[in-house]
A and B are shown apart, each in its own frame.
Chain A
Amino acid sequence: MSEKRKKQVFNPLDALLQLDISDRKLGLLLLAPAAILITAFALYPIVQGLIVSLNSVNFATLETSFIGIDNYAAVLQDGDFWDSAWRTIWYVLITNFFTLIIGMAISLLLHQELVGRNIARGLVLFPYLVPAIVIALTWRFMLDPTLGVLNAWLVDWNIIDRPIAFLTRPQTAMFVVIFASIWKYTPFMIIMFLARLQVIPLELEEAAKLDGASSWQIFWKITIPWMLPVIIIALLLRTIWTFNEFEMVYLFNFGGPLSATTTLPVYVRDLASEARNLGQAAAAATLMLGLLLVMAWGYFKLYARAEQELY
């Protein structure tokens, strides 16, 4: 008896496995740690952010005084806010379009039975693993007008006459950010798509082949519908992240030159730490959030429909 007890004390996992409590308690117990952390550090601050956006904040003492919607009015009347908003939207659209297309192409390619595809699968994920700061370093270095490899080669191949300072020219700086973002985030699509391709029901494909379907038909009638929920989730995630993207934009140029790479998150940061107007920063952030919620709601509807059609 006492021996048995001893065993239980020394093997908490075993004790846990024998435990049989009600589903309700178990459910709440399992959820509790995550729920508490998320509520305290992610949900509650949203509410506080809303409150701050209705106040004028003294930057030195962090004292607040209620001023109503004045912060929102100030932000909406600021031309820079609208410039940043449009810049953000086309940054999101262009980046996601290309990551989706390239990601799908590479996923389908690496789903084929090729020698060395496992190595290739590992290698194509590298840009995603490498931190934004390193990517900023990399592209700054490669595009440097005096010692950058890309400028040197472009001149050698007579594509350009003389080196171009791509990152310090307002006309080209944002394109560098977009290009690097596509490069960095395509692997995310590959991870998602390959995982889904792995579990595609083979019977479906075989049945279609027996019925004489072409590979083009199989792609559109079987592969794409099967992939659709994951495509929508991946796009939802990437849209949110690209919209919120701070590091990949900011670390390339700190918002410059001449605000050419100032997207909404950079705009909010500048309001907070350069202009030191915390109230307006909170108001701008809240407006960003509103836009995001609208987009997410749209994706949510799409996702529900795609799942419904599949099952």
Chain B
Amino acid sequence: MQKTLEKIGASTISVLEDAGRTFNLLLLVIWHLLQPPYKFYPIIRQIYFIGARSLTLIIISGITIGMVLGLQFYSILERFGSVNLLGSGVALSVIRELGPVMTALMVVGRAGSSMTAELGIMRTSEQVDAMECMAISPDKFLVAPKVIAGMLSVPLLTAVFDFVALLGGYFVGVFMFNVAEGSYMNGMIDAVVWSDVRLGLIKSIFFGVLFSLICCSKGYYMHLGKAGSLGAEGVSFVTTDAVVLSSIAILFSDFLIGSLLQ
């Protein structure tokens, strides 16, 4: 019994420590954002890595999800004789919900994991220490550009995801099930209002900051946890941890933001 309690206590402390470090990293990033000189090249490089190099994945997953949505919505709406609502159904689901969440989850899998692995390897091979010894702040040089790029890239990728998902839904509705094009388009335009777009935008910005902070924190502070003494195995451990934690955090915060801004 005592051992079980000890384990629960140790896990709780570890989770709280992790959360504290991630929050600390957020404060450091904000602090560095306020400190000149500003260097844009590292941010652009990270936007290229997180954003541009995720584009193919986002386009493929966006089209697929849009088509699946079109298919599912059509089969449900057909039962009630409301297929003219197909456009609005697909558009609202994508713009309010699926666009930001799916984009963020895809980016976590592709870019988040490599952020953690990169920082973890830099930590184990003393590259972070070397940077400290050169009087270069590693959190400014390594972490801040990644978080800023995450914050900017995810909304942009979400916009691309939304666009191609709507195209996918349109293709299924109009070309496969012969829904009237005007009905599909008008339904979509009439149903979506600014608050839906705003909700999607807020979510995607929040998810961008959230995943990049969690992934950076896991790699950057790797040496402070158990994984720190495990070398390469430790890097793989924190990378898996970062992806799982980021995904859960995105899904949970999606619910929270949705509830607050409904």
**Real complex partners, A and B?**
no
